[in-house]
Amino acid sequence: MDLDSLRADLENLRRGALERIAAASEPAQIDQLSVDLLGKKGELTLVLRGIGGLPAEQRPKVGAIANEVRQAIEGALAERGGELRTGALGRRLQAESVDVTTPGRPIPRGSRHPIIETMAEIAEVFGQFGFVVYESPEVEDDLTNFQMLNIPPDHPARDLWDTMYVDIPEHLLRTHTSPGQIRVMHAERPPIRALLPGRCFRYEATDASHASEFFQVEGLMVDEGTSLADLRGLLDQFAHAMFGADKRTRFRPGYYPFTEPSVAFDVECLICGGRRCPACSHTGWMTILGAGMVHPVVLQYGGIDPERYQGFAFGMGAERIANLRHGVGDLRLYLENDLRFLEQFP
Ligand SMILES: [Zn+2]
């Protein structure tokens, strides 16, 4: 090894190193180059091993050149490293920047289903008269759904309800919320003011006005001296709260096995105001619920003495009330859960 070839090696190292540093595109590459070029086992150290073979008077010269090369490489590393780090930071800042002037995206708001909403409103109106909401099972036994409501097994009125039975003997999906009356009477002592909203089931072909699954709201009041006039007064308050204080109402005879007498409760047609139109089948009236005085047999099944107490009960279809309030004409809309429909009830 002589001085000239060592000097040439150092020059080559410097040139090659500066090219590689200039070509680096990431800060991590600069760190790696620093190790490869200047590290303990780096390329400069490797070249300087030859220094031991030189005559002593030549060694300082090579040492000086080697220092110069080292400084050149260190300077280039620092400069290019600085450039790359600044660029990388700039790109990161750009990529991760938040434009605080951008308008926010609206968060989609859900709303209550119109049937749930309607039942809540019904409960609120009757709540003002002291009625408390009770729950009652959807899978009911035949005894409670029918027999204790004065509908024995061979009773022709059973044809009014096309029943869906379940795999448990003598059990069924409740066909109405009325069995809840029996359950409340078994659980409470008079005075009773109970409201029983809930899902009911019937074996029906589905169309615009029939559904196999629907909601009813049942009401029951039992006390001493309860009369049909009390029922009428309460239902008038309800109709006025739901449909307008100026609406006329009427009772007309109805039939239910569990009430005697039974009535249908009508409100004047919400479309024509009583002048008769297709919506009210040209009667001027719309039926909103069925009601009546609780049959003494039903009170007895409920464990209540019919000699001392009287009761009235009423039951309405939640879909019917929602239809009248919102002008919906097809029951199927309530069960399809199509957002285009539901979003109209904010
Ligand atoms: Zn009408």
- Round to whole Å and give the CA distance between 334 and 323: 10
Q: What is the mean pLDDT of residues 185-190?
A: 96
Span from the CA of 286 to the centroid of ligand 1 (angstroms): 8
CATH class of 114-342: alpha beta
- Round to whole Å and give the CA distance between 222 and 192: 5
- Alpha-carbon torsion (231, 162, 338, 197), positive or negative: positive
Q: In degrees, to the nearest 5, what angle opens at C-alpha 286 toward C-alphas 285 and 291?
A: 110
Span from the CA of 268 to the centroid of ligand 1 (angstroms): 8
Task: Please provide the DSSP assignment of 61-104 as one string.
Answer: HHHHHHHHHHHHHHHHHHHHHHHHHHHHHHHHHHHT---TTSPP
Contact 72, 18 (CB under 8 A): yes
> Residue 153 pLDDT more than 90?
no
Helix, strand, coil percent values for the chain (each to nearest 5): 45, 20, 35
Span from the CA of 316 to the centroid of ligand 1 (angstroms): 20
Enumerate the β-bridge partners of residue 280: none
Span from the CA of 288 to the centroid of ligand 1 (angstroms): 14
- Round to whole Å and give the CA distance between 148 and 40: 98
pTM of the predicted structure, to 2 decimals: 0.69
The proportion of the chain whose per-residue pLDDT surpasses 70, expressed as a percent, equals 99
Among residues 311, 312, 265, the alpha carbon closest in space to that of 290 is found at 265
Q: 195 exposed, middle or buried (CB, 10 Å; 0-12, 13-18, 19+)?
A: buried
Q: What is the pLDDT of residues 74-130, one digit of tens each?
A: 999 999 888 888 888 888 888 888 888 888 888 888 888 999 999 999 999 999 999
Instruction: Say what the pLDDT of residue 103 is.
Output: 86
Span from the CA of 276 to the centroid of ligand 1 (angstroms): 4
Span from the CA of 252 to the centroid of ligand 1 (angstroms): 17
Span from the CA of 44 to the centroid of ligand 1 (angstroms): 102
Boundaries of every domain in the chain: 3-95, 114-342
Among residues 217, 228, 226, the alpha carbon closest in space to that of 289 is found at 217
Q: In degrees, to the nearest 5, what angle opens at C-alpha 295 toward C-alphas 292 and 297?
A: 165
Span from the CA of 194 to the centroid of ligand 1 (angstroms): 32
Span from the CA of 216 to the centroid of ligand 1 (angstroms): 24
> Residue 317 pLDDT more than 90?
yes
